[in-house]
Structure 1
Amino acid sequence: MQYLHAALTETIMLYPAVPVDPKICFSDDTLPDGFSVKKGDMVCYLPYAMGRTKFIWGDDAEEYKPERWLDGDGFFRQENPFKFTAFQAGQRICLGKEFDYRQMKIFSAVLLHYFVFKLSDDKKAINYRTMINLHINGGLHVRVFRRQGN
């Protein structure tokens, strides 16, 4: 399921569940670029914007392209968690990351095996609302059809 893993990772990169991630400084510190922060300062990073940044991902950063995660032999290639920040990195990396991927793969495989999903109105623009979690304004209305032969 190498391609499925890449497709899920690409989706999470472009549409992270947590699009804005604030942190509070517990002590004075200096960021890697030399910027000083003081105890109590809030520092935010933006996984939603980072997943679309050409400087990080290349000129095709805004394209849905699962192949960017595969090596020449078709195997999934892990990126540095400080580059792909959807699950955080370092000491704060998500303990449930592997479980999350396992669940996504199981549900994707089962649902896509039995059903076809189509947008109810493929002409309607999809607009996102950045809150604690990434929301679609007005929801995402889809029609579900049983696959033939299942």
Structure 2
Amino acid sequence: MQDGRCSEADDILPDGTRVKKGDLVNYLAYSMGRMSYIWGDDAQDFRPERWLNDDGAFQPQSPFKFVAFHGGPRICLGRDFAYRQMKIIAVALLRYFRFQLGGHDNVTYKTMFTLHIHGGLYLCATPRPAP
């Protein structure tokens, strides 16, 4: 997904690029999420633990690092609600089911308007035994 903004004043971006008033600045959130100089050498790897500190607690990152919800004064008002929903659903699913990836050795993406997994992503969900 491409997004952009129009500069309202002369400015300098964090990498030193000069932006003049009226310039358009566009970025690709998909590409930024895979840049090794932002996320490290394992940027291509799915590692949810990169959001946790050494004690296993959530470690907030700059909203400008993960731009799915934008950042600054125009950050998405629903961001916290979306995070909360994600956590509730994840806990509920993991409480009642075990998941195993099936039929894929290598997951690849098909870039479209929204990001699709090429060939689909098949999971086998089996109920967990009652405690």
TM-score (norm 1): 0.68
Report the Cα offset of residue 26 of structure 1.
Answer: 7.7
- Residues 31, 37 of structure 1: 8 Å contact kept: no
- Report the Cα distance in structure 2 between the residues aligned to 1:38 and 1:127, rounded to whole angstroms: 38
Report the Cα offset of residue 80 of structure 1.
Answer: 1.0
Gaps of 5+ in 1: 1-19
The one-letter amino acid of 2:113's match is I
Name the residue aligned to 1:59. Answer: 41
Whether 1:47 and 2:33 are equivalent positions in the alignment is no
Q: Percent identity?
A: 45
- Report the Cα distance in structure 1 between the residues aligned to 2:53 and 2:12, rounded to whole angstroms: 32
Number of residue-to-residue matches in the alignment: 128
- Report the Cα distance in structure 2 between the residues aligned to 1:49 and 1:60, rounded to whole angstroms: 14
Which aligned runs of 4 or more in structure 1 are off by greater than 6 angstroms?
none
Match of 1:147 among 112, 124, 128: 128
Higher relative contact order (CA 8 A, sep 6+): 1
- Report the Cα distance in structure 2 between the residues aligned to 1:82 and 1:29, rounded to whole angstroms: 19
- Report the Cα distance in structure 2 between the residues aligned to 1:144 and 1:75, rounded to whole angstroms: 27
Name the residue aligned to 1:93. Answer: 75
Gaps of 5+ in 2: none
Q: For 1:31-75, what per-residue CA distance to the aligned partner results, in whole angstroms no more than 9, with x for missing partners?
A: 621145756x5x431222212212112222223333332233332
Q: Residue 142 and residue 70 in structure 1: after superposition, are their counterparts in 2 closer, same or farther (change >3 A)?
A: closer
TM-score (norm 2): 0.77
Q: Residue 62 and residue 91 in structure 1: after superposition, are their counterparts in 2 closer, same or farther (change >3 A)?
A: same
Aligned alpha-carbon RMSD (Å): 2.6
Is the strand fraction higher in 1 or 2? 2
Name the residue aligned to 1:129. Answer: 110
Report the Cα offset of residue 149 of structure 1.
Answer: 2.6
Q: For 1:4-31, what per-residue CA distance to the aligned partner results, in whole angstroms no more than 9, with x for missing partners?
A: xxxxxxxxxxxxxxxx222263868656
- Report the Cα distance in structure 2 between the residues aligned to 1:149 and 1:86, rounded to whole angstroms: 37
